[in-house]
Amino acid sequence: MRESNDTPALLLVNLGTPAAPTAAAVSAYLDEFLSDPRVVQLPRWLWLPLLRKLILPRRSPVVAKKYAEVWLPGGSPLAVHTEALAAAVRARMPGWRVAHAMRYGAPSLAGALQRLRADGAREVRVLPLYPQYSTTTTEPVADALAAHGAGLQVSLLRDYHRDAGWVAAVADSIRAHWAAHGRGERLLLSFHGLPQRVVDAGDPYARQCEASAAAIAEALGLAPGEIQLAYQSRFGKGKWLQPDVVAVLRQLAGAGVRTVDVACPGFAVDCLETLEEIAMQAAALFRDAGGEALRYIPCLNAGAAHADALAALAQAHEGWR
């Protein structure tokens, strides 16, 4: 093992992705993801048999087909864009080690910490690529750090939902899309959904999504009626955060709105939920409901403004603990 040279390290962490667009790979990924008690907060004796005997055999082939529709030559969009984002941040942080990992799947968070430790790192800042905090996303990263961070001085940034650099990057990406494609009649910001019971138990995620949307609207100079928030990616039959993006799009089409621009600022990089669920499924649903065009605004991905914002967050004195 190398001697420590006190070079700080930054570890960007995203949720994860299957290794291939196949039923077997999707099943393995979803099993790891959905087995986490932070993600699905049901008794293990009830949930795990249901997951492995019923849900995964049925859902994995369906989800694999969805992944196949958006898979890139270099792999899953989330994996490709996360790696590119880490490279862009690294270029802005000379003197730092900058790596990336996935909370579920590969490259694993445990493996990334082990490699940093073996390379002589001692101080590691871990930045989950979730602008809004949730017990279902950010806390699993904290759990993994507690389990695998021995021998490292680890600090975690729990959210950046109103960070000025990030808000400006999102607003600028929307302006650039409008400059290139024209402006739709309505701007919809779609965030990943969460069971209502999780929020009722004290999770601040919904409040932070609302605060992010308000900050983005302010940066764009929009009036309240020109922007709308919705939640996507419902799973199961329980009550989830409202309004649901499907209901909102149907309502807009029914009210005579013909063009809607949709951005997903809760996602750092494009993935299945943005490219297939919004840009494909939601766009088709909007047309079927009477709308003319849903124009999806891509995530920040490895754009310069995004990399600048994350590099600034990584080197800031506040927010780390």
| pLDDT single digits (tens) 134-193 | 999 999 999 999 999 999 999 999 999 999 999 999 999 999 999 999 999 999 999 999
Contact, 307 vs 91, CB < 8 A? Answer: yes
User: Rounded to an integer, what distance in angstroms lies between the CA atom of residue 308 and that of residue 166?
Assistant: 9
- Is the predicted pLDDT of residue 64 greater than 60, yes or no? yes
Q: Is 99 helix (H, G, I), strand (E, B) or coil?
A: strand
Model pTM? 0.96
- Average the pLDDT over 280-301 and give the result: 98
* Per-residue confidence band for 5, with pLDDT thresholds at 50, 70 and 90: low
Could you give the domains of the chain?
A: 9-160+305-315 (3.40.50.1400), 164-297 (3.40.50.1400)
- Average the pLDDT over 296-306 and give the result: 98
User: Rounded to an integer, what distance in angstroms lies between the CA atom of residue 38 and that of residue 26?
Assistant: 20
177 is in an annotated binding site: no
DSSP type of residue 319: S
User: Rounded to an integer, what distance in angstroms lies between the CA atom of residue 186 and that of residue 273?
Assistant: 21
- Is the predicted pLDDT of residue 4 greater than 70, yes or no? no
317 is in an annotated binding site: no
Say if strands 97-104 and 9-16 run parallel, antiparallel, or are unpaired.
Answer: parallel
What would the pLDDT profile of 200-239 be if each residue is shown by its tens digit?
999 999 999 999 999 999 999 998 778 999 999 998 788 9
**Of the candidates 120, 92, 104, 135, which has an alpha carbon nearest to the alpha carbon of residue 27?**
104
User: Rounded to an integer, what distance in angstroms lies between the CA atom of residue 300 and that of residue 185?
Assistant: 22
pLDDT at 2: 40
- Average the pLDDT over 52-66 and give the result: 98
User: Rounded to an integer, what distance in angstroms lies between the CA atom of residue 57 and that of residue 216?
Assistant: 40
User: Rounded to an integer, what distance in angstroms lies between the CA atom of residue 89 and that of residue 82?
Assistant: 11
